[in-house]
Structure 1
Amino acid sequence: MSLALRFKAGGSGGNPSMAPTMTSVHHHRSTTKQEHKPFKSRHASKSALKDAAKGKIESARAEKGQRKTPHQQVMSKLARRNQAKQLRMNHKEKKEGEEHIFQGVDGAAKHIAIVPLSNSIDPYSAINLLNESVDIARLEVTSGIVPVRVDRFRRNLLYLPASFDLLKALDVCKLADWVVFVLDAEQTIGEEEDLFLKALEGQGITNVTAVVQGVEAKVPAAKRSRHLTDLRIAIGRYFPALDKLSSLDSKSDCSNLVRSISTASTRGIRWRDDRSWMLVENVDWSSPVNGAATAAVTLAGTIRGKGLNPDRLVHVPGWGDFQINVIREVPKQGQKRRADEMDADVPIREWGPTADQDDLAELAPEQADMQDVASTAATTEHKGVLLDDHHYFSDDNTHIPPAPKKLPKGTSNYQAAWFLEDVSDSDSDMLDEDRDGDIAMDAADSLGPEDGVVANGADAMTEVGQSEYPESEMHVDADEEEEARQLEEFRASRKQEAEEDLEFPDEIELPPNVLARERLAKYRGLKSLRTSEWNHAEDAPHEPMEYRRLLQIADYKKSLNSALKESLAGGVLAGTKVEIELRDVPISLASASAPASLFSILRHEHKHAVINLNLTLNSEFEGPLKSKDEVIVQIGHRRLVVNPIFSASGQTPNDVHKFDRFLHPGRTAIATFTGPLTWGSVPVLVFRRETPSDNVAPALLDSSINSAEPGHLRLIGTATTLAPSSSRVVAKRVILTGHPFKIHKKLVTVRYMFFSREDVLWFAALPLWTKRGRQGFVKEPLGTHGYFKATFDGKINPMDAIGVSLYKRVWPRPAKTFEA
């Protein structure tokens, strides 16, 4: 072994100072070019720069890379300070302006909703505990609202007690500046409380806080802090802004809560604050004149939100929409008089409507239609179904040469005119006549099997093949009993398959004795539901009478901004205590319960339009909701009874959307109906009337409903208003399916889709499809029982199902006012 190998192996012999020799590797440089620093002073002198800029002007276009948005602008420290100061001052002025109406002895009262989360909680007991914490004497009140003057914080408070009743709690919370939830110390959030809180959250809610009663008596001292934290987390899932729970057993907690309520600014509810509204404190009926059915009613309260314009209509929940006759200001009780002012009565300010006052018309006036609906129909009878915007097979085909006839050899053009199309002569020599009118002599000698012709002899009767496929065997119609038996067996097997897998949700089955062209007379075909043009002229005979009188909005965004800006100017200022006299109120409402609120509606909100809601059904709801079923919707300050139709959401180029027969739990669809317009994106609550026998939570019931069919309301979903559109087409789809009876490559004989030759010819223009993705078309009918040949873009499977889609426009139904 060599010395080098012995050292590498770790041998002990040899000189230990010697190291193994290593072979060096030569490395070439990647390049031999030397890069020197360039000399950059060619155009750096002042004279050179001036010469380069001669004759040029400053470009108005922003330089490349320049920051454009305000957040990207480079600002100095002084400018940033000034900007922050201006934003702070503007925010402060805005809040002071909103809180100004609450200041002073005669300032408007803050509305405090006291909402218990259990039937065992008394809201008036909680109100007394809050009052005693700020040195206010105990009030012996068990019903109605509770006004309080808090001298410590110089504010007027108005407590609005609610109950563990869904509709009553909703009515109270929509009028509140603060919502105080009262929980029991042993409170748990079950299904009842879950839907209750979801409804209040879905309506839109202002500042929220919560208090707990009975903590000292029911919870040990060592577990109180943890117990309150668990309750706060449970409520915080619905209201994340809630940061603390107060205890009604602690006087300091109650005092701090009253201080926060009195001094903190309110967040408000956007849809409510875009309009003028008022809590009704007093109702005064005037005597009807000469036994009239209507009378004037005066409602007293303090205006909140935007200024109240007497030209706009007002909505009183439970009563309806009315015009304002006059608005009178109520004098302030604490207003001081000057020393030189006389004791004479100060004239009361009044505001009356002008000539621009809105009327109560819900629909546009009827106009004399010079064009009769019958005249819009085609003057000639159609020969086929409507596909997109055209009736195929209905054109004048006189210019097209006739189909070839079977003629004997040597027949001239003059002689051919004497042969009818239904001629049949099996003993004569016949051939096909070209479409050009010329006689094709000895055509059978030049055609082969690939052309669809079987050459049995020179004198045999031949026919030009109409297909690229070989000649199939002769079709023979079965008798009626055999046809019925085969149909019964086929449909029984299809029903069994449908139960296992719902592949055709829109499939219908027509009886053999029903003509499809009559049963589906309102339906049409579409090559593409998403892109095909929808012919609106065909909808005129089936259009509802009032549909053309609905409100049409060309530019929704512009009209919305105009209506909102109009509400900002003029009118009676918020914070003014007034008496509003309504005209022409039905006397029958005098026996009903007194209204609790009044809302001013924006311009055009009384008119009816096609309303679209983006509806989501609660996942806890049992079973699907069927289209056109009755539901009760709360849109802002309105409650309506509607029968909506459901359709797919999203935008399509042709504005055609598929009709959904059912809305399944947890899914979202567009619910459409006709009713009063509501500007903006407003939260919507959806209820369903249920019988008392159903297992419905007590908190979700409204015991005050009086109707022909006694029932209760249960929250089943939430929604949001979308832009109204009368041009949005909701198309109901039906599917007729057939069975591939015979298959030869791409040529298929289909049965059980139609049951008469006339139906096949009527629907021949519709495209065919299979559940496995094949596309085809009707080639020709066979026999008289509805069989036909179809050509597809590929070979289909014998287990495949052939379908054809038909569509019909579904019209929305009008809404009715909910009466409680």
Structure 2
Amino acid sequence: MHHHRSTSKGAKPSSGSSKRAASKGRVETGKSGGREGVKNKSRGNSDALSRHDRLNTLKMQRETKREEILYKKRLGAEYDGERPLPPKVVVLIAFHTSADTLSLKRQMLSVCGQSAESVAALPPHTPATMTLPNWAQGPAGCGRPRVLLLDPPRDLMAVLDAAKCADTVLCVLGPHASLEEPSFDALGYKLLTALKSQGLPIVFGAVHGSDEAMASGKKHLQAQKFVTRYFSTELGAETKLYQAQSDEELKVLLRGLASSTPKDLSWRAERGYMLAQEAEYSSADGVLSLRGYARGPGFNCQSLVHLTGHGDFVVESVSTLPDPCPAGASGGSSASTSAPMEGGGERSVDRLQGRPEPDQLRLQPYDPTMEEQTWPTIEEELAAQGARAARRTGVRAALISAPGKESTEASSAGDSMEVVDGEGAGAEDGEASDDDGTPSVAAPSIAETDGEAWDVSSNMTMDVPSSEAVAAEKRRREVLMKRTDEEFEFPDEIDTPLEVPAKARFQKYRGLKSFRTSNWDPYEELPLEYSRIWEFEAFTSTAKYSRQQYAERCAELEGDGVSALYCCIRLRGVQPSVLESQMRGSPFVLSGLFDCEQKVSVIHAHVSRLKDYTEPIKSKQELIMHAGFRRFSAKATFSEIPRKSSAISRKFKFSRYLQQGAQTCASFYAPVVFPPCRLLMSVATSGEPGALAAPELVAGGSVVSVDPKQLIIKRIILTGYPFRTQKAKGVIRFMFFNPSDIRWFKPVELTTKKGLRGHISEPLGTHGYMKCRFSAYIQQDDTVCMHLYKRVYPKWFPPAWGGLASAGPEDA
């Protein structure tokens, strides 16, 4: 297309002359003496630079706004900027006996303007809130930062509970260190391992303590180098370590705390939680009132809440209170001297009065009509049922007459006998006896003796052991260590009993063509326990919907809820034993529950054993579980995680012990936990006679799924040895001891340790010899194996959700 240029003679010369003049002025000095050309040139560059600066300024503003929103989101505040950020929770943890967290906390309060009288009167392990001065400012647009300082006792449970709500963990070390005396003592290393397994927020280090022993500056510098080396080795070279002896050093530390951005912890990101700064209990109506800063979405009366270590409760009311440490205050104020609970500007946000309570149903109702409808007509079946009823009656009588440890052991033995059902005279596999028939001592259970069903407390006591009990415990550990070594060297190999026919002893087992690809119906012959638990049709979708519903409930409350506000949460139906069992000096930790998280199902977690713990950990042994904000006792069943998954059925091979150096799947009955969620496993050690049971961490991992259909398959291997061989034929002995057993197991395929496959042809004689044919020449020194499989289930343990240890599936 042809385009005609303008033919206007007046506009063309002026336009051209102006362009030429502009070009001449920028390139040449011209008639104006050169200054005009320089001036025009600089003006053109100035315009270009100013545009570039404007773009950079807008980009920086966007990044600043984005950081501000993320900062508020991580602290649980609103995005509109109208609501101040809650105080940043800073937990001071002493990793050595020479570290003084109380002195450091008081000195930090004093530097920030607290009066000497209030600082000296502050008791240990008490939360203290303060507003940082002007010289310690946080990110732009977030106002004057506030911090909540907490120094929990040097106890594993107390430290883990405090770290659940922490935005920053301040590792306090002593000023002394050497090759012989590390900066972390034995308990400090255990606390650090537990915190890493649970998930650490932002971490800082502080060196604080008495340095009177340092006689010279040279020794002080040498000790300082050792402290820095130990700290960087355990927590990384990028983690900041501050000296916190003088006031100037403390100011640098406080500036670092104020400018740090909280880190997202996925397991607590979308649920409301609160570190209670004060608690008040009304014994008349059983109401526990907790107040503190709500974090995350907040709380509402339509959702249940969980009190760490004590169970699930119903929220009676949610109300806001005047902030004891306002964001605009010039100085800090201690939370221990705040206003009393009643009155003083309390505003109700949500009340349960007049509305139905949230669903608290844990188990499905027991329906005996859903059991298999077969009328026993054989005398043996009637006799077996009568014996089972007599054993159950005897166990219950023992519970009533002698409550405590003895009755608990009796109940464990009774439960193990009830599920035998044709397994022979032993007990359940992996619980009260092994396949070799040798009994083992069950771990002591935690059961309430007042007739009420409540969740487990974190404080467990052990009786003073006698000399006989100590000797028996020593023998038990020696047997367990020997079995652990045998299990590692000869996995799944057992001996056929002589006094019981093999077809009766192993009647629940079957042979499989391939363990990985053979089909196994997950709904085949389910136990009675599976009629009481819950199964999810779409677990991932249910978890997503429950999180969204919880956030919507909190946001629909008056004033957009209580997120990031100082509030009071009142719980109904709280027993007096909750306050009595709470560890002294450890604050209550409250967290919201999503829908369905109170229901019981089968939880699966992938865990790894810690290298520091050397005692055997047996499958179905009682352990203390730390799943997110929950803490309860359970009996986990361990299994090997399959490397390759099959489209037909994915099977997990049962493990008798939690072995070192491999990731293992732990399955147990417990209230539902939505992933992602960290899981820690600990055991209660006896320690010194008469002392409190000190829990020790043994494994750590994370919850991966909630699925009752997951197949846990136990494998046993029966072994025999060639007596006479001829090419691919052979006579095998010592696998069975009577011809009827050989005929019963004839369809099962045989394998050898040298890779051959074979099958049983016929029995030979009356002493268990059998003729076999193999896929190749069989050698005299080979070992013939028969692999048998059966499905196992987790151990039924009602204390995991607040029930009695003696309650069976039909009674829970």
The TM tier, using the shorter chain, reads 0.5 to 0.7
Question: Which residue does the alignment assign to 1:566?
Answer: 549
What is the CA–CA distance in structure 2 between the aligned matches of 1:500 and 1:317, rounded to whole Å?
39
CA distance in 2, matches of 1:198, 1:625: 18
How do residues 530-679 of structure 1 correspond to structure 2 at under 5 angstroms?
Answer: 530-536=516-522, 538-540=524-526, 543=527, 545-571=528-554, 572-593=561-582, 596-650=588-642, 651-653=644-646, 654-679=649-674
Specify the alignment match of 2:290 in structure 1: 299
1:803-818 equivalence runs, <5 A: 803-815=785-797, 816-817=799-800
Specify which of 476, 501, 512 is matched with residue 515 of structure 1.
Answer: 501
TM-superposed CA distance for 1:812, in Å, is: 0.2
Does the C-alpha gap of structure 1 residues 233 and 335 become closer, same or farther in structure 2, counting only changes over 3 Å?
A: closer
Q: SS state of the match for residue 288, structure 1?
A: coil
Point out the structure with max Rg over C-alpha: 1
CA 1:720–1:99 in 2, change beyond 3 Å: closer, same or farther? closer
Shift in Å, 1:203: 1.3
Corresponding position: 1:258 with 2:254: yes
Q: Percent identity?
A: 26
Matched, 1:198 2:193: yes
Aligned counterpart, 1:329: 320
Which residue of structure 2 aligns with residue 425 of structure 1? none
So what's the TM-score if we normalise by structure 2?
Answer: 0.67
Query: Within 2, Cα distance between the matches of 1:578 and 1:715?
Result: 34
* 1:352-390 Cα deviation digits (max 9, x unpaired): 34867531111123456456254999xxx9xxxxxxxxx
Per the TM alignment, residue 183 of structure 1 is displaced from its structure 2 partner at its CA by 0.9
Measure how far apart 1:667 and its partner are. Answer: 2.6
Whether the aligned pair in 1 keeps the contact of 2:679 and 2:700 (CA below 8 Å) is: yes
What is residue 41 of structure 2 aligned with on the other side? Answer: none
Residue type matched to 1:799 in 2? D
- 1:133–1:251 Cα contact (<8 Å) kept: yes
Deviations 1:757-814 (A, max 9, x none): 2111111110011111110011122233322211110111111111111112111024
C-alpha contact 1:307 1:569 (8 A) present in aligned 2: no
TM-superposed deviation, 1:332: 4.9
Structure 1 residue matching 2:261: 3-state secondary structure:
coil
CA distance in 2, matches of 1:513, 1:243: 64
SS at structure 2 position matched to 1:625: coil
The answer to whether the 8 Å contact 1:307/1:570 transfers is no
Q: Kindly report which structure 2 residues correspond to 1:678-717, keeping only aligned pairs within 5 A, or say none.
A: 678-693=673-688, 705=692, 711-717=693-699
Q: Does 1:365 align with 2:365?
A: yes
Matching residue within 153, 160, 173 for 1:170:
160
Residues 432-469 of structure 1, C-alpha deviations (whole Å, 9 max, x = no match): xxxxxxxxxxxxxxxxxxxxxxxxxxxxxxxxxxxxxx
Corresponding residue for residue 63 of structure 1: none
Q: Structure 2 vs 1, CA of residues 775 and 233 (structure 1 numbering), >3 Å: closer, same or farther? A: same
Q: 1-side partners of 2:319 and 2:635: how far apart?
A: 41
- In the alignment, is the contact (CA less than 8 A) between 1:232 and 1:243 conserved in 2? no
Q: How does 1:128-143 map to 2 (within 5 A)?
A: 128-138=106-116, 139-140=119-120, 141-143=122-124
2:636 counterpart letter in structure 1: P
Contact 2:96 2:185 in 1 (8 A): no
Contact 1:314 1:601 in 2 (8 A): yes
Q: CA deviation at 1:331?
A: 4.0
Residue 745 of structure 1, aligned match among 705, 711, 727: 727
Match of 1:314 in 2: 305
- Conservation of the 8 A alpha-carbon contact between 2:206 and 2:244: yes
Whether 1:126 and 2:104 are equivalent positions in the alignment is yes
Give the one of 705, 711, 718 matched to 1:723: 705
Q: Matches of 1:632 and 1:334 in 2, distance apart? A: 37
SS at 1:585 equivalent: coil
Structure 1 pair 229–663 and aligned structure 2 pair: CA distance change class (3 A): same
Q: Call closer, same or farther: CA 1:264–1:325 in 2, change over 3 Å.
A: same
Aligned to 1:157: 147
Deviations 1:584-613 (A, max 9, x none): 222443543375121111111111111111
Q: Distance in 1 between matches of 2:730 and 2:316?
A: 75
Contact 2:98 2:173 in 1 (8 A): no
Partner of 1:236: 232
For the residues of structure 2 that align with 1:94 and 1:665, how far apart are their CA atoms? Answer: 40
Query: 1:277: how far off?
Result: 0.7
2:738 to 748, 753, 756: 756
Query: Could you tell me whether the CA contact under 8 Å between 2:266 and 2:676 is conserved in 1?
Result: no
CA distance in 2, matches of 1:664, 1:677: 26
Change (3 A) 1:536 1:281: closer
The verdict on how the C-alpha distance between 1:239 and 1:602 changes in structure 2, with shifts beyond 3 A counting, is farther
RMSD: 3.8
SS in 1 for 2:761: strand
Matched residue, 1:475:
none
Paired residue type of 1:185: P
Contact 1:764–1:777 (8 Å) recurs in 2 = yes
Q: Which is richer in helix?
A: 2
Which residue of 42, 46, 69 corresponds with 1:93? 69
Q: Give the equivalent residue in structure 2 for 1:348.
A: 347
Question: What does residue 40 of structure 1 align with?
Answer: none
1:181 aligned onto 2:171: yes
* Alpha-carbon separation, structure 1, partners of 2:273 and 2:75: 17
Q: CA deviation at 1:151?
A: 4.1
Q: Structure 1 residues 84, 567: closer, same or farther in 2, change over 3 A?
A: farther
Aligned counterpart, 1:777: 759
**Shift in CA distance, 238/77, structure 1 to aligned 2, threshold 3 Å:** same
- Determine if contact 2:625/2:634 at 8 Å carries over to the other structure: yes
Structure 1 residues 297, 136: closer, same or farther in 2, change over 3 A? closer
CA distance 1:748–1:265, change in 2 (3 Å): same
After superposition, give the CA deviation of every residue in 1:104-125 in whole Å (9 maximum; x if it has no partner).
9986333221111122333221
Query: Could you tell me the TM-score, scaled by structure 1's length?
Result: 0.67
Residue 539 of structure 1: how far off its partner (Å): 2.5
**1:209-252 deviations in Å (ceiling 9; x for gaps):** 11112586528545756654543342234433754322222322
**Alignment gaps of 5+ in structure 2:** 1-51, 137-143, 328-342, 382-481, 555-560, 803-812
Structure 2 residue 105 is matched with structure 1 residue 109: no
Residues 273 and 105 of structure 1, relative CA distance in 2, 3 Å threshold = closer
Work out whether 1:276 is the aligned partner of 2:257: no
CA–CA separation in structure 1 for the residues paired with 2:701 and 2:788: 30
